[in-house]
Amino acid sequence: MLKLFSHSDILNKALDASWLRNEVIANNISNVDTPNFKSSRVEFETELKKAMGTDGINMKKTRDKHIDSCSSYEPKVVQNNETTVRMDGNNVDIESEQLNMVKNTIYYNALIQKTNEEFGRLEVAINGGK
């Protein structure tokens, strides 16, 4: 029964990460003129791919009762302290941030669509294919 919701769990985590990414990008954009402000980014998808075994690293189950889940993988906000775009110490590249916002919005909408499809399949299963 728990396998039935495994995709929903992954989609939920990805939606959380995308929502957080939107907030971080919006914060970067709002601080484009703040001296010495350093931009941030959200890291999540790479670690999730590793956890799911699609990048050559598999999670290890030590007991049969362990649940396959991505619940231990949380999105991480990482500050970029290594670059400076302007003389005042600010490293926000507004064009890059705007592009990231558009990409993240498309990604979020795709995740919403996949989540709706998952729940549609569950509804069909619950209703016995009707």
The tens digit of pLDDT for each residue in 62-116 reads: 655 444 555 567 899 999 998 877 889 999 999 999 999 999 999 999 999 999 9
CB count, 10 Å around CB of 14? Answer: 21
5-9, 28-32, 52-56: least confident range: 52-56
Residue whose C-alpha is closest to residue 45's, from 67, 17, 25: 17
Q: Give the pLDDT confidence of 15-49 residue by residue, as tens digits.
A: 999 999 999 999 999 999 999 999 999 999 877 77
Q: How far apart are CA 76 and CA 42, in angstroms?
A: 5
pLDDT above 50 (res 57) = no
Based on the number of CB atoms within 10 Å of its own CB, is 118 exposed (0-12), middle (13-18) or buried (19 or more)?
A: middle
The better pLDDT of the pair 51, 73 is held by 73
The domain spans of the chain are: 2-126
| Mean pLDDT of the residues in the chain | 82
